[in-house]
Amino acid sequence: MNRLLVAGVGVLMLLCVTPGNSPAQTYRVIHNFSRIDGVNWMTALVSSGTTLYGAASTGGSSDYGTLFKINTDSSGFAVLRDFTNWSDGAYPRGSMALADDTLYGATSGGGNGGINGGSGVLFRINTDGSGYTVLKRFDSVEGGPLGGVLLSGSALYGTTLGGGSSGWGTVFRINIDGSGFTYLKQWTSADGAYPFWPAGNLVSSDMTLYGTTSQGGSSDYGTVFKINTDGTHYGVLRSMCCDGPFGNLMLSGNSLYGTTGNMNGPGTVFRVNTDGSGYATLKQFNSYDGQGPLGGMVMSGTTLYGTTAGGGISNNGVIFKIDSTGSGYTVLKYFLGSDGSCPTTCLAMSGSTLYGITSSGGISNSGVLFALGYPPTIQAAPQTQTAEVGSAAALRVEAGGSSRLCSVWYLNDTNLLSCSTNWHLELTNLQFSQSGAYSVVVSNVLGAATSSPAMLNVIAAVERRPVPGVKMTGETASLLNVDCADSLSPAPNWATLGSVSLTSTSQYCFDLTLPLPPQRFYRAWQTGTPGVRPSLDLHLVPAITLTGNLGSSVRLDYINQFGPTDAWVTLDTVTLTNTSQLYFDTSAPGQPQRLYRLVPLP
């Protein structure tokens, strides 16, 4: 009989879902924003444990924007910084970076102390809201840091809109203490221009930075570029020819993924290799399945997740997923307005959930912070194994994904065994008919993942039992006496177990007592002065019962319980001196669990 073990607390109801159910079942609004919280969301969320950090470009008490935090369970919303002083920065935009308990970010305005002057600042602030410090004040000659910051080592990297020798924008570096500001690149239009938010966000790999510009290049539609962190080896990986990049890049291995488009155009998802080869359009959006992928994407496994600011069933935008090959495009959420509208920032992934912000919609039409679970992934498939008739076998899968995962187990792809939220399958009283390929489909409302098959081979049981084996080492041909006692106090009552004349430097003496007492102690001794100091060790050794006609031969094979089901190893060939006799597998101690088979020989 097959049964599924359910560990932990009980459940009131079990529901196994299949792909195609409404993705909205896992969508929830964590926070509805108001003007005082901040509005016009321009920064991606940063996650640390169960806490999310973000910023609003306007709103707050002075309408200069805010920095905030909130727990993933929707509790603990707090404004960390209410920008009220123009000289200390205003209108935070772009990406923020988090290191330990410190946030780093940028504003697009303020900084020079003038009422209407300043092109923004770089700042740091503790995650409890204390210690706000301006690291760098920009002026109109230097441009404005709209793309936010990237933290790598002890330095911050970013881009400016405008500024530099030609006024087309720059890539800069600055130490986290505010020292050492320098330009790594000043664009000339031909090789890029205007890394406008959020296209100005950078990603890094080792000592190389990757980013995009919204204009410039051979067709003036923008570029994808790379540059070393010391400013050397700038290169245009791709000059865009139709739509400009708009959204942060996603780096995975040797591939970069990004989006193109704007609020008025459908846009695309593209891929290009880090050496500039292999450019491909993975998705061309239309008005129904999304329009204007402004926020960029995040990746889990080989799946990309992103948002569009418009399109969908009510033109409020969507959340989508797509495989890194370009297949499997799926809309996970259509925004309706009341639950959010116009997401323009990159999603954040924390634990098994996606989090994001919309720039409008919700109760006050000031935007919402939302959570959406994502499809499961198989992290560890069930193990292939061998088991004996009448025994039990346990199969387990490890999967990641949003809560309420459902596991459906199959035998040979067709026989449904069980459906549960637990990931263990225990088979008891196994029979030969239960040999085959076991797989599990783990699903939630967003999709499903199927494990690779685990083979189970049910074999005939071979009679055996573990027996204490006293392994003695000493001088060859010496006679060792072995005693046993069931207690060492108050005075041990030693009984003779046997005497062994060593035919090699090590040899076993086996205790075949049935039943064995709860505890037993052994000693070995010899008379005279040994040439080699003896020693002994204790192991539980499988004692296998061999049966057959007197004088017949039997081959004894073993196989590891977990592993390929055809990986049999010949242990020994035995000619029977009795119709039933024991064979002791002294090679088994310290090895993986073994099973055995007896093969009669002609």
221 or 173, greater pLDDT: 173
- Supply φ then ψ for residue 324, to 5 degrees: -65, -15
Task: Answer for the pair 272, 255: CB distance below 8 angstroms, yes or no.
Answer: yes
More confident residue, 199 or 592: 592
Sign of CA dihedral 43, 44, 45, 46: negative
Instruction: Say how far apart CA 234 and CA 237 lie, in whole Å.
Output: 10
pLDDT on residue 233: 96
pLDDT at 383: 96
Can you tell me whether residue 26 is helix, strand or coil? Answer: helix
Residue 544 pLDDT greater than 50, yes or no: yes
Averaged pLDDT, 77-104: 93
Is 101 or 14 the better-scoring residue by pLDDT? 101
Are 99 and 202 within 8 A, CB to CB?
Answer: no
Residue with the two structure tokens 């000031």: 366
The CA distances from residue 289 to 201, 312, 487, in Å, are 25, 5, 78
Please write the tens of the pLDDT for every residue from 279-305.
999 999 998 899 999 888 999 888 999
CA 203/CA 193 separation, integer angstroms: 18
d(CA 184, CA 227): 8
- pLDDT at position 117, please? 58
- pLDDT for the residue numbered 198: 59
Structure tokens at 137: 């004040």
Residue 266 scores a pLDDT above 60: yes
- Which amino acid does the sequence have at 18? T
The per-residue pLDDT for range 223-259, each reduced to its tens digit, is 999 999 999 999 999 998 877 788 789 999 999 999 9
Q: Is the pLDDT of residue 116 over 60?
A: no
Mapped onto helix, strand or coil, the DSSP state of residue 470 is strand
Calculate the CA dihedral of residues 423, 51, 375, 331 and round it to 10 degrees.
Answer: 160
Q: How confident is the model at residue 374 (pLDDT cuts 50, 70, 90)?
A: low
pLDDT value at residue 268:
93
Closest by Cα among 382, 379, 375, 443 to 407: 443
114 pLDDT band (50/70/90 cuts)?
very low
pLDDT at 15 over 60: no
**Sheet of 464-473, strands arranged across:** 506-510, 464-473, 535-547, 580-584
CB 257 within 8 A of CB 297: yes
pLDDT at site 111: 85
| Mean pLDDT to the nearest integer, 396-414 | 84
Q: Which residues have CB under 8 Å from 391's CB, separation 6+?
A: 430, 461
Cβ contact 87:75 at 8 Å: no
User: Could you tell me which residues come within 8 angstroms of residue 473 by beta carbon, excluding any fewer than 6 positions away?
Assistant: 505, 506, 532, 534, 535, 536, 537
Q: Find the farthest-apart pair of alpha carbons in the chain and give their distance in angstroms, rounded.
A: 107
User: In angstroms, how far is the first alpha carbon of the chain from the final one?
Assistant: 38
Q: pLDDT of 439-475, one tens digit each?
A: 999 987 667 889 999 999 999 999 999 999 999 988 8
* 506, 473 Cβ separation under 8 angstroms: yes
Contact 422, 442 (CB under 8 A): no
Least confident of 62-71, 402-411, 415-424: 415-424
Q: Look at the block and give the residue holding tokens 């949003």.
A: 402
Structure confidence at residue 477 (pLDDT): 85
Mean pLDDT for all residues in the chain = 88
| Neighbour tally for 426: CB within 10 Å | 14
The per-residue pLDDT for range 428-449, each reduced to its tens digit, is 999 999 999 999 999 876 678 8
Is the model's pLDDT at 20 over the cut of 50?
no
Residues near 325 by Cβ (< 8 Å), separated by ≥ 6?
282, 302
pLDDT for the residue numbered 447: 74
The CATH code belonging to domain 45-297 is 2.120.10.30
CATH class of 381-459: mainly beta
Per-residue model confidence as pLDDT tens digits over 319-332 = 999 999 999 999 99
**CA 34 to CA 77: how far, in whole Å?**
12
**What does each C-alpha distance from 473 to 466, 502, 508, 537, 588 come to in angstroms?**
21, 8, 9, 9, 18
**Runs of H (alpha helix) within 121-193:** none
Q: Where are the domains of the chain?
A: 45-297, 381-459, 464-601
pLDDT for the residue 197? 63
177 CB-near residues (< 8 Å, 6+ apart): 135
Q: What is the dihedral of CA 494, 496, 501, 505, to 10 degrees?
A: -40
Task: Please say if the pLDDT value at position 489 is more than 60.
Answer: yes
Query: What's the gap between Cα 136 and its chain centre?
Result: 36
Other CB atoms closer than 10 Å to residue 420's CB: what's the count? Answer: 18
Section 385-412 average pLDDT: 89
d(CA 268, CA 535): 75
The predicted pLDDT at position 17 comes to 28
| Distance (Å, whole) CA 222 – CA 187 | 12
Task: Say if CB 182 and CB 156 are below 8 A apart.
Answer: no
Task: State whether the Cα torsion 574-580-586-587 is positive or negative.
Answer: positive
pLDDT of residue 418: 74
Q: Give the separation between CA 335 and CA 357, rounded to whole angstroms.
A: 12
- The rounded distance, in Å, linking the Cα atoms of 194 and 222 is 8
In this predicted structure, the answer to whether residue 195 has a pLDDT above a threshold of 90 is: no
